[in-house]
Amino acid sequence: MEKFGNYIRSKRTALQENDKSFSQRQVSLRIGIEPSYLSKIERCLPVALSEEKIIALAEVLGEDSDYLLALGGKISGDVKDIIKKRPMLFSRLVRELKDLPDEAIEASQEFNQVQEKLSQLHDLASIGAFQFSADQDDSHWTRQVTSILRIPSDSPPNFYSLLIAFTPDEQSTLKQITDKALKNGTHFHCELKLGKHTDKPVYILMWGYFEKDGKGNRSATFGVIQDITEIVQLRNEIQSAKNSLEINYNERGVELSTAIDSLKSEISSRKELEEKLKDINIEITQQANIQTAFFENRAYSLRSLMARFIAEQSEKNNDHSSSLKLKRISAKINDMGDFFTWKKGLKVEESDFNLHEALERVVREFESDFTQNKVNISLTKSPDLPTFIKSDKRRIEQIATALLELFIANTPWGYAQFSAATGADQNTLILAITSASKNKPLTEDVFYPKILDQDTPYQSNPTQLVGPMVEAMGGQIQFENPSGMGSLINIQIPMKTCEPISNEQVITTTDKHALIVEDDKHSQLYIAKVLEKQGYEVIRTKNGEEALKEAERGKFSIILLDIQLPDMNGIQIAEEIRKNEQSPNSGVPIIAVSAHATQEDRAKYIAAGINGFVSKPFEIKTLMEEIKKFVG
């Protein structure tokens, strides 16, 4: 697994340099394994990864799945058998088809050796020369001739003595060749076989020419002969080797073709499996999107109900404690929405807000819980902590809420101290919480949702989204478990200081009129009562058509606009009001009051001419603060 682990680590870290979502934790979560497990793989520890997980990992890293499967040792039994039982054949699969197999290369080396021997034999061959004339006294041959022909050394040098050394068939061949050469006036050349005076075949090479007299008759014959028996034997061996090589090459070609077909079939099967897995993944994703959409829709309905309930409780008995608990329930609904989308990355929406008020409000919501547990809770703020900052208010409140819930559940006695300070660089917000009696040691897993198998029960953990939220905001988490029972959590988040909210756009008037555009009658009534208590005359409408008619009929000091309406959305209504310069309300401040609160949503509101925004469910104080930015 060393090559596999090293390759995965180098590939992932290279991608992480440009995209932080390729961190070891994020990649582990995307393929469905524990981060510690991927860490072991990248450290080349002896751990196994299933074929499905390797294919998923290849898709995340943008790598060829077959290549990653081979590195991870996940190859088919057929291919393993080829590698194990026929290594020479497998080596051929990685060469180009034009290359010869190893057996052919060995045969080629033998062939070269034979050629070398053949060259040596040519150099060392003994050659005999002869001259036959009509006059016997003028005929002679060298001594090598009788030795080569295997005839007695005292045999007379003439064509007859030469002829009888061959078999009858070879004699006939020699006569035909020499007669043809004499007739055509050309040289003759032939290869003949001895046999009459030898136990074993002897092969002779003979070549020569004729001289003619004035009448055109043969007067003399000149020529040379050479014993080429060994050369013929070597030539036959070469031919045999060549034939064997061709047969071997053809057989290997068939085997190679079969192996290639087998590999193609294996690749085709794997591709079919990949397509099926992709289809399954698409189906799972679609189901998850459907479930997420369903949940978000229901969460929106729940938030609306909570807003009504908070308003009704405030109207009935002004029970501040109940109102705080209801707000915490509403915050839990928001946490549930984040839980369904955290793997894709949580969104961060920065805005200017009062940090002191936000932290004080969160601590105030938990005072009764700490008191009930007989535990003191205190909020400490450093002197240099800015009042107004630019950051994600909702995320900071969620983080603070989760930390307080964790310490409520795990602090049996004594106190819990929650503090906020500014980092040394003045651009970092430090949130810390400590308790001397916290009885459960902290681990990194406390701050992240845990991947569970079917045999592991789910355990509630209020801080399981703190890690993803801090990562999304570019921060970091530190924790300690000092000796004894205490624990300390320190969270550092980037922030920017900002000026107090400007009132330059405030319209001062004693005659205040408000237009409410809200299709939910309970929310409509709630907002109307809040404004009427503040001295506003209120006109209520339930859709876009009614709102535009009222906007043309008279001038208002403020327009409170819901976004999700039955006939047209709030963005369209704002655009209609703004584009009509003759309208008495073309310049009147418009505040969107909606549960659609993403950064993209707010950008659309601003582009449509909407001045402010209040997220549902809201507190009366929050609504009035937003209105007072524009109306005095």
SS (H, E, C) 470-525: HHHCCCEEEEECCCCCCEEEEEEEECEECCCCCCCCCECCCCCEEEEECCCHHHHH
Higher pLDDT, 526 or 422: 422
pLDDT of 372: 83
Per residue in 357-367, pLDDT (tens digit) is 989 988 888 88
Q: Say whether pLDDT at 626 is over 70.
A: yes
Q: What pLDDT sits at residue 119?
A: 41
* Residue range 478-494, pLDDT digits in tens: 988 876 667 889 999 99
- C-alpha 125 chain-centroid distance: 71
* Percent of the chain clearing pLDDT 90 (strictly above): 18
Count of other CB atoms within 10 angstroms of residue 571: 19
Mean pLDDT confidence for 88-94: 49
pLDDT at site 458: 46
Domains and CATH numbers, the chain: 2-74 (1.10.260.40), 126-227 (3.30.450.20), 338-497 (3.30.565.10), 513-628 (3.40.50.2300)
Give me the mean pLDDT over the 404-429 stretch.
87
Which pLDDT does position 123 carry in this prediction? 41
Evaluate if residue 320 carries a pLDDT over 70: no
pLDDT in tens, 559-614: 999 998 988 999 999 999 998 888 889 899 999 998 776 778 888 899 999 999 98
According to the 3-state scheme, what is the secondary structure of 238-254? HHHHHHHHHHHHHHHHH
* Predicted confidence band of residue 312 (pLDDT cuts 50, 70, 90): low
For 74-138, the three-class secondary structure string (H helix, E strand, C coil) is CCCHHHHHHHHHCHHHHHHHCCCCCCCCHHHHHHHHHHHHHHHHHHHHHHHCCEEEEEEECCHHH
Instruction: Return the top range by mean pLDDT from 188-197, 225-234, 342-351.
Output: 225-234
Question: What is the layout of strands, in order, in the sheet containing 188-194?
Answer: 140-141, 127-133, 218-227, 202-212, 188-194
Residues in the chain: 632
Q: Averaging pLDDT over each range in 265-269, 499-503, 514-518, which range is the top one? A: 514-518
Check whether 259 has a pLDDT greater than 80: yes
| pLDDT at site 321 | 53
| Contact between 221 and 208 (Cβ < 8 Å) | yes
Q: Which of 548, 586, 598, 539 is nearest to 568 (CA)?
A: 548
Q: pLDDT: is 267 or 68 the higher one?
A: 267
pLDDT surpasses 50 at 457:
no
Q: What is the pLDDT of residues 31-54, one digit of tens each?
A: 888 888 888 888 888 777 888 888
Residue 225 pLDDT more than 70? yes
The model's pLDDT over 373-397, given as tens digits with 9 standing for 90+, comes to 888 888 999 999 999 999 998 889 9
Residues 142-186 pLDDT 10s: 888 888 888 888 888 888 888 888 888 888 999 999 889 988 889
pLDDT per position as a tens digit, 208-221: 998 888 777 888 89
The pLDDT value given to residue 504: 41
Residues 6+ positions from 445 with CB-CB distance below 8 Å: none
At residue 419 the predicted structure's pLDDT band, cuts being 50, 70 and 90, is very high
pLDDT > 80? residue 550: yes
Q: Is the pLDDT of residue 509 over 60?
A: no
Reported as a pLDDT band with limits 50, 70 and 90, residue 314 is low
Name the H helices within 150-228.
Answer: 159-163, 168-184
Residue 624 pLDDT > 70, yes or no? yes
The single residue listed with the structure tokens 């006569």 is 175
